[in-house]
Chain A
């Protein structure tokens, strides 16, 4: 390669320095903006931003006070159909709705470490019927304080720590995560 050719090539880079800098900035920016936009859309419709209450504490969320969540292992006795290798965990979440009626879906129980498995409430599957005063979600509640009581069927290998998660559809992507004592 002659000196002239090297010089010519250098000149080309120098002459196009501005457009090259533009490409170097705009190319990653395009991917970044499109990616951020798509993931933001995806995550904003899902419960992705927890408002956490430590074990034994309550948390204010959407104008209501939630918790503290309590958990108890139920003695299956004869009336409950609980398979070997699992146990029934009863969870109670007191709710003070405040001025407006609270809104929430039935809670889920989640392992907050390890596999982060998630359980949904059970009732007839284990032959358990909540009494008419026991709420399974915020449906049918008023502005008076109430308690959500739900049962979960959890395998014995799930040792916790656990959290109860409550989703209010209109508050997504934020939701409440109430830690419970293991």
Chain B
């Protein structure tokens, strides 16, 4: 696998900061909005955005995590069972503007499951999608993000990983490309 850096840590933090201001444009003081990270990786996006927003807005922002396992469309299509993660929504989403977040928007299937999962908790006034990285032209279903950190063109065999400073030691987005034979 060849690796190349798509976002270095400085670009990473600029991107996060820009996404925060884009969110503020639409959500003002977040009094009726909530951030929801999709398990497993979207929770890191939501946590980071929450941290930045709380510094900028100087107030607590409602944040939760959502497990989508039971809504996935690949049940019985894997060798191992799909083991669920934790959903942590200790607030009502009824009539709230909800922004669901994931690190990489690839096929769109996770987000499709996330939309079903979120509706089981009530009827939000609006649902938006934020993706730190969007892999264009790879969607299997017609889903588009409202807020995109970085849009990249990739082929199916490539892989995108997002590293986080507090977990992996460095903020970074990396593209892994298989070696040509």
- Asked if chains A and B come from one complex, the reply is no
